Amino acid sequence: MSFPLLTVTAAVPAVGAVVTAAVPAAQRTTAKYTALLFSLATLVFAAVALVRFDPDGNRYQLTESHAWVKDFGLRYELGVDGIAVVMVALTALLIPFVMLAGWHDADPLEDANPNRRWRPTQGFFALILLVEAMVVLSFEATDVFLFYIFFEAMLIPVYFLIGGFGDRAHAAGEDEAARQRSYAAVKFLLYNLAGGLIMLAAVIGLYTVTAHQLGTGTFSLQEILSARASGKLHIETSTERWLFLGFFFAFAVKAPLWPLHTWLPNAMGESTAPVAVLITAVVDKVGTFAMLRYCLQLFPEASKWATPVVLVLALISIVYGALLAVGQRDIKRLIAYASVSHFGFIILGIFAMTTQGQSGATLYMVNHGISTAALLLVAGFLITRRGSRLIADFGGVQKVAPILAGTFLIGGLATLSLPGLAPFVSEFLVLVGTFSRYPVLGIIATLGIVLAALYVLVLYQRTMTGPVKAGIEGMSDLKARELLVVTPLIALLLFLGVYPKPVTDIINPSVHHTLSDVHKTDPKPALEAKK
């Protein structure tokens, strides 16, 4: 029996969550290092999986399959293709940085008021590890019902991270801040639960179809794809479209896609910066990843049927998110709306149904995770120092904290997809892939780039340049721990901006497989006939 590498990669953070939560209450530092150690161990196993994955090998590798509930066709099935293994690696990479950045976010509040609640450090770090385990299993699962379980289960720890460990730099009083945190957490949970319930109906419908035609119901992605390819399973057009809509709605909420995006600015605004990174750079990627794995592969005809509407929604997300980012007064809400715009680019690339578009979309998921983590974590360091997240409360930071300002600038330039930084390559591929099939949509989507330059550069100008504002004079520069968080992320942005080949070589074969599932080929350029 081969070593269950994928199971271990997910089990390590799950076990780490239990061990961290069990650390005695007074030993907060021990709990932090325990959680960090488990996250680094997860990174090691994810790296091993990445190295062992052969892009030229089978579509799904490192597979595991065990009977779970035979009577209902449930199996514990794991496997990764090129897209999944890269997303597992991204998740494992970001979690240690999230922990280091939030090292003191759950420390006891130092306040003379005895009614102020202390924050359980052990719970904070245990919840982060629990989210990591659920996300990793979501990327690894090749059983549809198993995926659904973890897709929904990750909502619970994220809910507690938003509602129980909110941002301390709040303009309102403590009671109002608590109310807004509670509102953001409940809104996040209700939106995603609603999407999940609709998806559950579609999952049951898919099982019913397989049971009717194959004699035995199954949730196995590979069995369903094989049965469809051999002609043993045929889903009626109307049924396939309804099932597609059930899956897609849940993924569009998670992604998030306009107009289902409104929970994200609230959740990110009221969370600590590390938790906001966890949401937008890790959890939300499950939505776009699932569009590639489940919507396109299970329901190819319905995916092509829905493409015009999805592309329009993606285009609205790009422009609408960017426009709202321009008008924000809150730093974290600005980054949240920028992420809505970026997710629009990812979904645009997925449903452009071209090699360049889907390769760019997958690469965008990776690069957006890194660039958003860099910008948002530095913004968190800035907000913690000032005690405010309002843009108007900053000014002249580069004069007193030049390294902080410099790293903030690099994160911002990556967010606007400056050439030479990683997001540029992915955004360029998405636009090229879209333009080759839908030139009008490709042209309109470039407006998102122009608006990104506007909101990022204006944000930098208003916070970092000009005269030093009151409250900024004594601001300290980045410390060793903070530099340890930011430096590797910036190095990755530079490396992948110049040389993205290591990632594209892994994801491209999986992209070709997905396009084959939907029976799409790249459009050939029209050549003028010789006179």
Residue where the block lists tokens 């099939």: 437
Q: In the structure, what pLDDT confidence band is assigned to residue 170 with cuts at 50, 70 and 90?
A: low
Give the strand pairing for 74-80 and 61-69: antiparallel
- List Cα–Cα distances, 290 to 75, 200, 247, 459, in angstroms: 19, 14, 9, 33
Q: How many C-beta atoms surround the C-beta of residue 521 within 10 A?
A: 10
Per-residue confidence band for 61, with pLDDT thresholds at 50, 70 and 90? very high
Of the candidates 231, 94, 115, 264, the one whose C-alpha atom is nearest the C-alpha of residue 175 is 115
What was the pLDDT predicted at 525? 66
| CB distance 393 to 386 below 8 Å | yes
Average pLDDT over residues 182-194: 91
Instruction: Kindly state the average pLDDT of the residues 263-278.
Output: 90
Task: Kindly indicate the confidence band of residue 253, based on its pLDDT and cuts at 50, 70 and 90.
Answer: very high
Q: Is the pLDDT of residue 165 over 90?
A: no
- Across 228-242, 288-302, 365-379, least confident range: 228-242
Spatial separation of the C-alpha atoms in residues 332 and 124, rounded to whole Å: 20
What average pLDDT does this structure show over 158-184?
78
In tens, the pLDDT along 466-478 reads: 888 888 888 888 8
pLDDT at 168: 63
Sign of the torsion formed by the C-alpha atoms of 231, 140, 258 and 363: negative
pLDDT-derived band at 515 (thresholds 50, 70, 90) equals confident
Q: Please tell me the distance from the alpha carbon of residue 264 to that of residue 191, in angstroms, as a whole number.
A: 10
Is residue 530 over pLDDT 80?
no
Of 492, 275, 503, nearest to 374 by C-alpha is 492
Confidence band for 164, pLDDT divided at 50, 70 and 90: confident
| 429 Cβ contact list (under 8 Å, min separation 6) | 349, 356, 357, 359, 360, 363, 364
Q: Could you tell me the CA-to-CA distances from 133 to 124, 381, 531 in Å, in that order?
A: 15, 26, 63
CB pairs under 8 A, 24+ apart, for 389-393?
Answer: 389/167, 389/169, 389/170, 389/171, 389/269, 389/330, 389/331, 389/332, 390/171, 390/329, 390/330, 390/331, 391/328, 391/329, 391/330, 391/331, 391/334, 391/459, 391/462, 391/463, 392/329, 392/462, 393/469, 393/471
| Average pLDDT of the residues in 325-349 | 92
What's the whole-number average pLDDT of the chain?
Answer: 89
User: Would you say residue 279 has pLDDT above 90?
Assistant: yes
Mean local confidence (pLDDT), 344-358:
92
pLDDT of residue 119: 54
Reply yes or no on whether the pLDDT at 400 is more than 80. Answer: yes
Least confident of 48-57, 273-282, 351-360, 512-521: 512-521
Q: What is the mean pLDDT of residues 470-499?
A: 91
Instruction: Identify the pLDDT of residue 71.
Output: 72
**DSSP characters for 191-220?**
HHHHHHHHHHHHHHHHHHHHHHHHSS---B
Closest CA to 367 of 187, 513, 490: 490
